[in-house]
Chain A
Amino acid sequence: MKRIRWTGWLTGGALVCFVGLGAFLGIAHRSGLPAVPLPKADTFPAEMLSHGAALAAIGDCIVCHTADGGVAYAGGRALATPFGTLYSTNITPDPETGIGNWSKEAFKRAMRDGVSRDGRHLYPALPYDHYRQVHDGDIDAIYAFLMTRQAASAPAKTNELIFPLGFRPLLAGWKLLFLHQEVFTPRPDRDAEWNRGAYLAEGLGHCSGCHSPRNIAGAEKTGSDAYSGGVAEGWVAPALNGSSPSTVRWTADNLFTYLRTGVDGHHGAAAGPMGPVVHGLSRAPEADVRAIATYIASLSADRASKAPAAADRAAEASRANPAGATLFAGACAGCHEGGAPMMTEGRPGLSTVTALQLDRPDNAVRAILQGIHAPTGPAGPAMPPFAASLTDKQVADLAAYLRSRFSDRPAWTALETAAATVRKEESQP
């Protein structure tokens, strides 16, 4: 009797699981869309193509969709995530390995719902949660722009994800939980420039993709956590809301300068993944970059009085960290000490550089070891790397000195470990 009951339970349980799985797969299933011939370039009006080019620059498609030294938009760039490594795919109009046989509708579905033309779910590394907010006409213009790029044959590389995330139907569950964004609607209490900036920053620009923290499932936290700072490729993406750590409050003007040139005299230089963002924005329409600056500056408008005072306590810092002071004098002072040639060119003094005000030392340690590569070309801000000349202990001493001299915030800890971690990633000599 008991045995029969157990068997009954088991059968019932299996049935529930089976039906549940079936229902889930039913929801998860997305059908393929038909392949279409590559549209001819002359089917797109010239204004549509230039509009698409500007939008693609703001969305920075090229950054993720181009491998180091690879063909533009042909994909293959490794994207390290907490869930493993994803490889970006080929979005050139190659019919076999790219999106050459995608219709406008298939492209729109990928941008809005994160579904490939063949019906496979795409990983949210493609920020479709943001692209959902983009207007139809703008998505069409980006489609036109991409379909008129040079086609390149580049098959997708195999992703290396932790089990079971390689099973794409699971992404349908992620989308049920986190993909609810709507097309952007302007706020009537704000002016046209602010709304334009909000549209670009929240949509194609996907600024909060890095500058907001993410939850355990890798979705952006929203509400009061939005823009409270995140992490991108090992770099801290500083908070842009009221908790911004910068010593000088961001204004629309200095944000515009920063986004356009890669450096602002009161905050520092764009480094790490922010470099390519600046590269894109340096050639985007000026009015759009101004609008983004206006919107982003408004996020921290309420913190004017909370900004920490700029510090420079050379004598105390030298007493506390004599080894760091010596390294600074020999390696850094030629550019960063008061009166150095660079300081007469409107470059930021270290007491206003945000990297030295962050809770975590990652950005300072990375800048020291890897240097800063001018995002806008040779005239932009650049710093040489010190990985070959300084040991981890020396980087730690130097970072500790910088923190104590140029910030009032608590000393950083585990600096040597931080340096060793960054150095392990170094592939260049």
Chain B
Amino acid sequence: MNLTSIDWIIMLVYFAFVLGIGFVLKRRVKTSTDFFLAGRAIPAWVCGLAFISANLGAQEVIGMAASGAKYGISTSHFYWIGAIPAMVFVGIFMMPFYYGSRARSVPEYLRLRFDEKTRGLNAISFATMTVFSSGISMYAMARLIQTLHILDAPFQRMSIPPEWIFQASIIFSAGIVLGYIFLGGLSSAIYNEVLQFFLIVAGFLPLVWLGLKNVGGWHGLTQKLPAGYTHSWVGMASPHTSRLGVEWFGLVMGLGFVLSFGYWCTDFLVVQRAMAADSMSAARRTPLIAAIPKMFFPFLVILPGLIAIALPNSAPQTPVASASTSTAQPAELRGSGIIPPKMDANTGLPKVDQDGNIVLDYDLAIPNMLLHYFPTGILGLGLTALLASFMSGMAGNVTAFNTVWTYDIYQSYIRPNASDAHYLMMGRLATVFGIALSVVAAYAATRFNNIMDMLQLVFAFVNAPLFATFLLGMFWKRATGHGAFLGLISGTTAAALHHGLTLPAGAVAGIKGGWLGVVVHQYPSEMAQNFWTAIWAWSTCFVVTILISLLTKPREEKELVGLVYSLTDRPSEEHLSWYQRPVVLGAIVIAMSVLLNLVFW
């Protein structure tokens, strides 16, 4: 790839602003509340944009386009069935307890509502998870910089060996994120996330516009692709006709209910953004405001994937196709659209699956679209947007980590009763070693790819039952700490057992499932298996928590005021205009999301 000085200047300007925000905010960080909770002084719309931006990491931008190219517009279920209803639920029903209880983190809410051991379990698993997630983000970014040959030319000019590109990318991204969080804490992360949000829109909107213009608009796109690509619900009656390999029930319950509610309603990474809001009503509006741009994100991140696959095969011009993909090869050895085949590093030939079909490298959908449509200048903007998305994902994890570490682990188990200045210092230190651990995780990913897959699997097991615990905790005053703790443990166990006893079609026993030796059920796709694993985990946790709670001693009702729905005052909304009321906003959001489902049925 040939970047010219204008592209580099655009990147530099962006990074100057990112660090500049950190420096400006540094002067305003005086207490640990300033550092970890942004002083609870951020307006709702800023929290709202940070709320989605923190989640807009590599997985979202690269992964959703990849999934769009692979499965088509059905990918939008992750938004219109998944994220949106969950965001409305957390805003209307759960935020009064998170914000109103004055808990400083999600694990801390668990301690207030249940007990110390439930908090400890959640805090430790969450902290581990954030470090690895940010490491994986860092690794993916460094790999992308390598694949796109972004730094090849400057490195050659400075006669630094190309092996250093990966190292330099890791150090650079770690350095930037460390810089602005160390200085300004959560407010710096939130401000930068808002900046990143606008930058990502600015970088990808012209891409979608050019792509759509090129293929003849939405109408032209539907004509170039098989029908299943442009309809989200057609064929959902059975797993065998659905493009995702899962029927509507598994989709709605597994993805829509368990996984999405589990993520958006209980993950401190996103909830922390709402907790920083300047008032209860702002905290409740945060996820609702976030939901509005979020529901249009499929057009920004999924559509490029569809366009990439719809374009005519263009192997010779494809900017990032592997060297061996040339016009001399028969058509079936080339990629599809502008998506190149996945190459086998050992043979230098495209990888083929069991049926002899070429495996496509869908993750290159977005990068190749950028290179296909953007000339120098705006290419710099597009690449900066891509880098910004990686960093916002990393920063979200790092700020969640330093807070949970300092409040829920360090202050609770290692050194209680220290001064506020001490915890502020610990928060800054935690930022440094959180990022250092992420770097270690990124390097671990280069050596032991399977370890990363396995860790992500374990996290999925730990996360799947969480929403049952929060649902019972907030809406059933009889739920007890022993019930919650054992419910979580058994839910995670159920997830592991289900995964160990089932296998997606075409996979061999191992990391993909079936590792218990017996395969009880075979799913048509990996997605179907994931959704059903989540459903089993959630149901087990739900039932076990209820049973154990009924057998154990309930807490006094007066201790649960502000923590449980039936014992808490409804937040007053009378001073708010109609468009500021969470319930009204929530209804608008749901109506819009239903409409989108119907339009793309």
Bound together: no
Which B residues lie at the A interface, using CB under 8 A?
none
Which A residues lie at the B interface, using CB under 8 A?
none
